[in-house]
Structure 1
Amino acid sequence: MRRLFAALALALIGGAAQAQAVPQWGYARSGTCDGYPRAAIETAPGLCVGLALAPPSTGLPLSKRTIRMPRGLLVLPDGDLLVSDLGAWTTGRGAVWRVTPRPGGPPIIRPVLRKLDMPHTLAVGPDGGVYVGEMSRISRFDPDAADPQATLTPVITGLPDNRLHENRHPLSAFIWAADGAFLVNVGAPSDQCPPTKPGGEPCLEAVRQAAIWRFAPTGPGKWADQPTVHARGLRNSLALVRTRAGTILQAENSIDVPQANWPPEELNVIEYGAHYGWPYCVAMNETAPAWKAQKVTCAPYRKPAMNLPPHAAPLDLLEYRGAMFPELSGRLLVTLHGYRPTGSRILAIELDDKGLPKAGQKPRDLTPGWGAVKGKRPAGAPVGMAVGADGAIWVADDRNGAILRLAKDRR
C-alpha cells in the first residue's frame, strides 16, 4: 500500500508539473514574416519569425498532432524539409516526415519513415546519402524512393542500449570528421555519477560512455564495426558541428543542480584524446559537487572555450553561411532549449578564422522575447536548425510541435 500511495503521489506531482510546463495557448499571429504568418516572438532588429507549422494550441495532446515532437531538420534540394519526429520518449513512436512549406497555406506533410526509436539527427553524409540517428543505431535511407522505409539500412550499430529510464541521455547525434569518420554522441547514463563511497573507484560510466565515439571509414558509405573513443568526459553531446575551418565544436549540457546561475553550459573545442572533465569537473574546471569530498583535481581536464548560459540546454550548433543575413555570416548559431529563463532562445557567436569562438564577446541574442506570455506565445523550445537555399533559418520547436522560419523583416 505504501508503494501504491507513493506511486499515486508521484503521478500527481508529475501531472501538476506537466500542466504548469505546457501552457494552453498557441502562437499568436500578427501580419506576416516574409510570406508566413508572423509569430509573436520578439527578435533582434531586422529579423522576424514565421510559422510554417504549428498546432492551434500547445495544450493539444501529442496523439492529436501529425508531427508530434519535431527535433531535427534537413533541407532537401527541392526545398522540402525532412523532419525527425521523436514522437514520444519511448520506443517505436518516432518518425521522419517530408514537409513542403507553403507561405500561403498549411504545409503538405507526407510520411517517410515510421516506427523509429526516438530519432534525432538528420544529415547528408560524405557519400551523399541521407542519415538518421535513432536511440541505438544510425541508418541510411533514400527519401526520394517510392518506399523510403524499404531503403532504411543500419550502418552504425552496437551503440549502447540507452533505454530511457535506465539512461538519462538516450539520443544519438553525429557528424563526420574531415577524413570521413563517423563521430557519434554516446551520452552519460547518469547526471553526476556520484562516488559510491568515500575514496572509492572513479566513475566507471566515464570510461566508454559520456564520450564521442569514432567509427573509422572503410570505404564509401562504410565504417568500422568497432569504434574508438575520440573524446571523453562529455555528459551529452547532442550539439555538434564541424566548422568550415575544420574545427569540431560541441555544446555541453552540464549537470542538473538547484542553483539557477550555476554551472554554466559549455562550448568545447573537441580534440582527439582529450578529456573534458565529466563527472569530476564543470565550468572552467571547478570541482563538481558530488566529487568535492574526493579531493579531485581538475588540472588534467580540458577547459571549455566559452561558457554558455547556465541550464540553457544547448541542443544544436550551426555555422551560418546563408545569403539572407550577411551580418551573421560565419557565426555559430546555438539553440537553447531549456525551460529556465536562460533557455528559449537562439544565440549567434562570432568565430575567428580558425573556427574558434572569439574571446571576450557577448553572444548576440536573436530571439530575446521567446518566454511564455499568456495569450501571445508559449515558451520556445528550439532544437534542430537548417538553412534554406535563400538563407532563411528553419527551426524545430519540439515542445510546441512547431516548425519556425527566421527571415529578414521586410516590413
Structure 2
Amino acid sequence: MPETRREPQHWAMMMRKLAPLLAASLTLIGVVGVALDAQALTAARRQYATQGVCAGTPATTVRMVPNTCLGLVWQGAGNDGPLMPRGLMQLADGDWLVTDLGAWTAGRGAVWRLSVASDGAANWRRLAGGLSMPHTVARGPDGRIYVSEMNRILTLDPDAADPAASVRTVIGGLPDNQLHDNRHPLSSFVFDGNGDLLVNVGAPTDRCVDKAGKPVVNASGACIDSAATAQVRRHAYLGRGRWSEDSTVFASGLRNSIALVRHRSGTILQGENSVDLTTPDHPYDEINVLRQGGDYGWPYCVDMATPLPGWSAAQSRCGQRLSPVALLPPHAAPLDLIYYEGAMFPELRGRLLMTWHGYRRAAGRIVAAETDAQGAPLVDRGGRYAIYPRGSLPYPAGAPSIRGKVLTPGWNRIADRQPQGAPVVMAVARDGSIWVTDDKNRAILRIARP
C-alpha cells in the first residue's frame, strides 16, 4: 500500500462531517449515471414525426420506394430500453433481442428483450448489463444465442429465470479497447456452414500512418498492425456449443468487417468501411467476396487498385491484392448485410440488403442489390450514386457498382419531421417485414407494406 499523507486537523474534521454525504452520493452514481446517459442521448437524437399507419405501426415521414412504408416501432426517451440499439433478432415467441452498445466505452452495454403489446406499446426487460460494446446477436448451430462483445463472444439464455447468470464466455481474449482506442473496437461474427465462427478483428488505426502521414512499419516494411489485426479469423467448431480459442486467419487486409454474411451457397461477403480521408467523395467503400487466405488491401490500397497516400506503389503492391467485387459510395459505412427470404416482399427475395450507416451525404439508406446464384452482387460499370438532399455523383469510369435500388430514398434530415437515418442492423420478421435499428436516433423501425 502506498504511504498516505497526514492531513491537517481541520481538514480531517471537515471530511468526517462530509463522509455520510459522500457515501450517499457514491451510492447513487450507478443509478444517476444511467439516467444522465439517457438524458444526454435524448438531447442528442432527433425525433421521428409520424402520420398515418404503416401496417400496424405509426408511419414515419421517410419517403420510401412505392408500395412500402417505414413504421416507427419505438423511439427511446428515458431510461427504459437501449441507449444505442445495434443487434436485432426475433425469438420464437415473437419477442426481440436487442443489443445495446450503451456508449463508446467499455462496460456500458446491455442485452434487452423487447415485447410489443397488441396496442403497439413496447415493453423492455434488461437481460444482461455491464457489457463492453455488444453488437452482433445470432443463433448458433446448436440453437443457443450468441452475442459479440468488444473482446469476447458470449452465450446467454434469454428464457432463463436469471438470464444474466446464464452468460458464459465462448471465445475470450479478442483485442480489447487498449488495442482499438482509435477506430474499430467492435467485434462481429458469422457462422460458417460447418459451424466455425468467423470473427471480425478491426484495424486499430485508420491507415497505419503516424501524425506526419508516414507509414508505421515493421522490420520487413509492412504495416506494423497488419499481422494481427484488420482481419477475419476462423475459430473451429468443436461441437456442443464449444469453439477453439485458437484461430487461423481466414482473410486479411480488411479495415472494418462489422458487416459479414454467409449465403446458402457458401459465399462469404464483407462490407468494407474504407479509410477516412477528408475528401467527401473518396475513397469508396466496398463489397468483398472473402476467400481463404485473401488479402484485400488495407492499409495499402483503396478502390480497385489505388495506393493510399503515404504508401508507395512498391509498398502497396495493389496488383497482388484482391479487388472488391463492387464499390459503394464514399463513406457509406455498410454495417449490415442480409439476404432477404421473407414473404412480404416477393420482389426482394434473394436480394442482398445492406445498411449504409454513415453520416455523410451518400449514407442514411437501406439498399437492395441484385445477386447471382452464389449470392455475389450483380454489378454495372460506372453508374452513379444518390446524395442528400438531392442529386447524384458518378462512380469511377468502368468500376463495378452494385445493381439494385435504394429502399429508403428520402431518409435525409428534414427539420421538425425526421432525422437523417443511421441504420445499423436488419432482421426479417416471421411476417416478412424488415426490422432495423437506428443507434444515433435511438429507434427501432419496420419496413412493411402500407
Aligned to 1:249: 269
Aligned to 1:30: 51
CA distance in 1, matches of 2:373, 2:307: 33
1:367 pairs with 408, 413, 426, which one?
A: 408
CA distance in 1, matches of 2:68, 2:309: 41
Aligned to 1:45: 66
Moved more, 283-292 or 128-137: 283-292
Aligned to 1:259: 279
Q: CA deviation at 1:363?
A: 2.5
The residue identity in structure 2 corresponding to 1:76 is L
Structure 1 portions without partners, runs of 5+: 1-18, 57-62
Aligned to 1:120: 135
Q: CA deviation at 1:43?
A: 0.7
Whether 2:226 is the aligned partner of 1:185: answer no
Q: CA deviation at 1:199?
A: 10
Aligned to 1:275: 295
| Contact 1:235/1:279, CA 8 A, preserved across alignment | yes
Greater relative contact order (CA < 8 Å, ≥ 6 in sequence): 1
The residue identity in structure 2 corresponding to 1:362 is R
Aligned to 2:370: 350
The alignment partner of 1:324 has SS state of coil
User: What whole-Å deviation, never above 9, does each CA across 1:195-223 have from its counterpart, x for those lacking one?
Assistant: 13899821021112100011111222111
Distance 1:102 1:342, change over 3 A: farther
The residue identity in structure 1 corresponding to 2:259 is A
CA distance in 2, matches of 1:198, 1:117: 31
CA distance in 2, matches of 1:166, 1:95: 21
CA distance in 1, matches of 2:87, 2:316: 38
1:196 pairs with 211, 216, 222, which one?
A: 216
Q: CA deviation at 1:65?
A: 5.7
Q: Once superposed, what is the RMSD of the aligned Cα atoms?
A: 1.9
CA distance in 1, matches of 2:179, 2:317: 32
1:76 pairs with 91, 109, 112, which one?
A: 91
CA distance in 1, matches of 2:436, 2:344: 15
Whether 2:251 is the aligned partner of 1:231: answer yes
| Contact 1:281/1:288, CA 8 A, preserved across alignment | yes
The residue identity in structure 2 corresponding to 1:391 is G
Q: CA deviation at 1:110?
A: 0.9
The residue identity in structure 2 corresponding to 1:112 is L
CA distance in 2, matches of 1:362, 1:115: 42
Structure 2 portions without partners, runs of 5+: 1-39, 210-214, 381-401
| Contact 1:185/1:236, CA 8 A, preserved across alignment | yes
Whether 2:359 is the aligned partner of 1:339: answer yes
Aligned to 1:98: 113
The residue identity in structure 1 corresponding to 2:352 is L
Aligned to 1:395: 436
| Contact 1:385/1:396, CA 8 A, preserved across alignment | yes
Q: CA deviation at 1:66?
A: 3.1
Q: CA deviation at 1:362?
A: 3.0
Choose 1 or 2 for highest CA Rg: 2
Runs of 4+ in 1 over 6 A off after TM superposition: 197-200
| Contact 1:89/1:164, CA 8 A, preserved across alignment | no
Q: CA deviation at 1:105?
A: 3.1
| Contact 2:436/2:445, CA 8 A, preserved across alignment | yes
- 1:151-230 alignment runs, 5 A limit: 151-163=166-178, 166-194=181-209, 195-196=215-216, 201-230=221-250
CA distance in 2, matches of 1:199, 1:343: 39
Aligned to 1:325: 345
Moved more, 173-182 or 162-171: 162-171
Aligned to 1:87: 102
CA distance in 2, matches of 1:279, 1:160: 19
CA distance in 2, matches of 1:46, 1:188: 41
Aligned to 1:138: 153
User: What whole-Å deviation, never above 9, does each CA across 1:162-191 have from its counterpart, x for those lacking one?
Assistant: 337624111000001111111000000000
Distance 1:199 1:140, change over 3 A: closer
Question: How many residues in Structure 1 have an aligned counterpart in Structure 2?
Answer: 383
TM-score (norm: length of structure 1):
0.90
User: What whole-Å deviation, never above 9, does each CA across 1:278-298 have from its counterpart, x for those lacking one?
Assistant: 000011111111213765320
